Amino acid sequence: MADEQSRPAFYKPSPIPKNVDWQSLMRLDGDELETHYRHVIETLGKQKGMLGVVFRKAQNKIQDPAKLRRLRARPSSGFVARITHADR
């Protein structure tokens, strides 16, 4: 959502550091993607404020880089919604 808010028509500054933003995941693949995704979760969990609270105890449950690549390619797909709904 922070990535979407930083684009036209919103142009809001993103609270996500550049080295761990959505775009940082887009340029990687395979094991590098999975490793960086773990780093992103850990880094965001150390941030101050609500961002840190949201990610503080987050865990990577997606061990297969191919599944992570599919999720990354379609962030607004039903896949994300199904995960969220199933966790409730």
**The total number of structural domains that make up the chain:** 1
Distance CA(33)–CA(64), nearest Å, equals 10
Residues 6+ apart with CB under 8 A from 21: 2, 3, 14
Structure tokens at 80: 């994300």
pLDDT, one tens digit per residue, over 43-60 is 999 999 998 999 999 988
**Where in the sequence is the domain holding 65, given as residue range(s)?**
2-86
pLDDT, one tens digit per residue, over 9-45 is 677 777 888 899 888 888 899 999 999 999 999 999 9
Structure tokens at 77: 């797909």
User: Which CATH number belongs to the domain containing residue 32 in this structure?
Assistant: 1.20.1260.30
Task: Record the pTM.
Answer: 0.67
Q: Of all residues in the chain, what percent carry a pLDDT higher than 90? A: 30
